[in-house]
Structure 1
Amino acid sequence: MIKIAILDDEEEALEKEEQITRQYFHSKKVECEITLYQSSEWFLLGLKEEKFDLYILDAEMPGKNGIEVAREIRKLYPEPIIIYITNHLNYAVEAYEVNTYRYIPKDQLKDRLYLTYDALLPALMAREEKYYIIKKRSEIEKIAYSDIFYVKKEGKNVVFVHRNGETSIRESLSTIEKELNSKDFIIVDRGYLANIKHVMKMKNRDLYIRNGEIIAVGRERFKYVRKAILNYWGI
């Protein structure tokens, strides 16, 4: 299931973008779920609650424009795919500054959008969210890997710090690392396992995490962590 958000303040344009998108994915026999927004304020209110695979944004809107909306998306999610559909070409430079995938003029909507979806489809199909299942006597919880900022050791427990809060279980950090079994999670100190996708900056031995927190890197782990971050950023 591919989840798509479309944000455009013009109702007619919004409906047209939805129709073209549904037609395309139906023709490819790919299931998709499309959520429509006509106000950037309403979109931003629910931004933390729901994550999409693809964001289609209008650049010029009342209130926060599409560029500002993209900046808010990127604060929360590490790898969103953003497409701009607009008549305002003056936003093109700013659009690419927020790592936009495509910038499509509205007068070329159907042809250009179909070509964009053709290019994106393999990557979208390959995106399969992994989940860590937490089992307790009285409850079970499913946490998406991409929602985990870091995991920390607290006494005999470990605490998952994630997009929806914190979850504690009685387990060792080394066991959690093995069960996650992902190169995105790295030990940064004896008591911390960080999701490298949510590292925004490394300064000296401090990691600045997407949720605003700072984690200190162990002295003996410094070179390894720095190299892992540079590799992830493609530097």
Structure 2
Amino acid sequence: MINIAICDDDKEIIDALKEAISLYSQEHSVEYDVHSFRCGEKLLETKINFDLIFLDIEMTGIDGLTTAQMFRQIDKKARIVYVTNHSECALKSYSVHPFDFVVKPFKSERIFSVLDELSHYLSENAEKEAVIQLKGEDGPLLLSLKSIYVFEYTGNRRITVYTKDDKFRIKGGLSDILHLSTQKALFLPIRAL
């Protein structure tokens, strides 16, 4: 699931972006969870990690550039696409590292282009995702570091590894996991029973 935020004080723009994202989702079989905010303050209050944010530069209350600067203190990974009526605002936006820039009014194809770029970017980074090799009970086990939640020592030199979707039994002790953590900068929760 790809999380997208739309932050704009114009409901018609929010609706147009949602419609374009929905069309793209249907055509490309990609699932998006879209959240909309009518002001920067509401976006900053959320606890959701977004993959992409469509952010209006000129809004009532906190403007988009200030919102982006404050958001970057919370989340440096979200890709920000500035949406504005004035193309001359593009230069100012580069201090907050935009992913793209969309000028209003826009056509759905322009949003499709942004979503194509996002898909390409996410798939490229997924290929670079770090994995760890562990001694599984039935042989070598490769797991994505991002998917591991906790290592639980269950006695007799056996550890249960809990991931997002499953759990695995591996051979070894907590000292083996701690040794891996110093080699690979792996800092994950470890608990003993």
* TM bracket, shorter-chain basis: 0.5 to 0.7
What are the ranges of 5 or more consecutive residues in structure 1 without an aligned counterpart? 145-170, 187-192, 194-235
1:178 matched to 2:180: yes
Partners of 1:180 and 1:13 lie apart in 2 by: 49
Match of 1:10 in 2: 10
Q: Give matches, 1:86-125, under 5 Å.
A: 86-125=84-123
Cα contact 1:83–1:104 (8 A) shared by 2: yes
Partners of 1:60 and 1:89 lie apart in 2 by: 12
Cα contact 1:4–1:55 (8 A) shared by 2: yes
Aligned residues: CA RMSD: 3.2
Cα contact 1:59–1:88 (8 A) shared by 2: no
Partners of 1:89 and 1:177 lie apart in 2 by: 52
Cα contact 2:57–2:84 (8 A) shared by 1: yes
- Counterpart of 2:147 (choices 97, 111, 131) is 131
Partners of 2:11 and 2:183 lie apart in 1 by: 45
Matched residue SS, 1:62: coil
Change (3 A) 1:19 1:178: same
Match of 2:168 in 1: none
| TM-score, length-scaled by structure 2 | 0.68
**Which residue type is aligned with residue 14 of structure 1?**
I
Cα contact 1:57–1:83 (8 A) shared by 2: yes
Point out the more displaced range, 84-93 or 108-117. Answer: 108-117
- Whose Rg is larger? 2
Cα contact 2:5–2:52 (8 A) shared by 1: yes
Partners of 1:177 and 1:34 lie apart in 2 by: 41
| TM-score, length-scaled by structure 1 | 0.56
Match of 1:84 in 2: 82
Name the structure, 1 or 2, with higher relative contact order (CA <8 Å, separation 6+).
Answer: 2
Q: Deviations over 1:116-168 (max 9, x none)?
A: 2222212223555813322569xxxx899xxxxxxxxxxxxxxxxxxxxxxxx
Change (3 A) 1:135 1:9: same
1:45 matched to 2:45: yes
The number of aligned residues is 155
What are the ranges of 5 or more consecutive residues in structure 2 without an aligned counterpart? 130-145, 154-161, 165-173, 188-193
